[in-house]
Amino acid sequence: MFPLSRTPFRRRTATAVAVLGAALALTATTAVGADAAPKPGKDRVNIQPGDAYMGVGQRIHEGKPADDPSMGIMAPTDGVQGIDVSNWQGAINWGSVRNAGIQFAWIKATEGTSFKDAQFNTNYVNAYNAGVIRGAYHFARPDISSGATQANYFASSGGAWSRDNLTLPGALDIEHNPYGAMCYGLSTTSMRNWIADFYNTYKARTSRDAVIYTTASWWNTCTGNWSGMGSLSPLWAAHWGVSSPTIPAGFPTWTVWQYTSTGSVPGVSGNTDRNQFNGSRDRLLALANNT
């Protein structure tokens, strides 16, 4: 016969319960993870082509993890507040977003010349129905096709514009390359030409000046401190955890400021990019309606 264990029964029972509890917790965590929509977080750095989102290049190239507490420092939440979203936020309750005081949003539509965001059609319609002034944005890939090609793809895939009091001009998200070399392998002259090509084509298609989303560090490095867009495109400056954004070369001021990537908004799961418009709601409507 095997010798009986000398471990007290009560201790053995407690150990078994603890093991069972840990196993159940692991199972529950796995199940939730499998069913939940993707949410912003550190894992958003490990992306595949088509999955880029506003700020991912800054996070990778400037070494800013998504859970860095300093990135949660927020500008005053008065004034005209907005968000930007993509498929990473999963399903969004736009009614709750609007009721929380969010007045505008830019929604990812396209990337490069073949990727359309899986949540774009749903987000674009639902934001409109909730009364959120919204626009579409395109994640630039200057390494794979011309600016004109990508502007046409964007305009044909959700990035167009209409004077309906709720549609903002399209935005060009041009930032650190999340898939490789910071400036996408282009010289400063080639990058300038690419941006101008996109801008001119988008304006010809929509009659609107594309908004440019970028960071001062990327713009000044990859365009060589170019001032060529300052009088043409409204600037959407990305600069987190500061009291005011650094302005890229050539732009007189910022029109929109993305001040954190770790904001929180009712109706949106997980971290959310928060933005402030530089002006009153009347001026936001003027931007939307080209007046």
d(CA 262, CA 272): 5
* Residue whose C-alpha is closest to residue 53's, from 146, 156, 179, 151: 179
Give residue 76's pLDDT.
57
Q: How confident is the model at residue 35 (pLDDT cuts 50, 70, 90)?
A: very low
Give residue 32's pLDDT.
30
Of the residues 84, 111, 117, 273, which is catalytic?
A: 84
Tens of pLDDT, residue by residue over 184-199, are: 999 999 999 999 999 9
Is 78 annotated in the active site? no
The pTM (predicted TM-score) of the whole model is 0.83
Of the residues 51, 111, 117, 175, which is catalytic?
A: 175
Give residue 280's pLDDT.
97
Tens of pLDDT, residue by residue over 73-97, are: 555 567 899 999 999 999 999 999 9
How many angstroms from the chain centroid is the CA of residue 95?
20
Is 173 annotated in the active site? yes
Tens of pLDDT, residue by residue over 196-254, are: 999 999 999 999 999 999 999 999 999 999 999 999 999 999 999 889 999 999 999 99
d(CA 243, CA 76): 9
Q: Please tell me which residue, 287 or 21, carries the higher pLDDT value.
A: 287
* Both structure tokens of 142: 């200057």
The dihedrals phi and psi of 126, each to the nearest 5 degrees, come to: -70, -35
Question: Average pLDDT of 257-282?
Answer: 95
Is 164 annotated in the active site? no
How wide is the angle at C-alpha 126 spanned by C-alphas 120 and 128, nearest 5°?
100
pLDDT above 90: percentage of residues in the chain? 72
* Both structure tokens of 113: 């010349």
d(CA 268, CA 148): 33
Beta bridge partners of 275: 82, 258
Of the residues 51, 117, 173, 273, which is catalytic?
A: 173
- pLDDT over threshold 50, residue 31: no
Least confident of 28-42, 127-141, 146-160, 198-212: 28-42
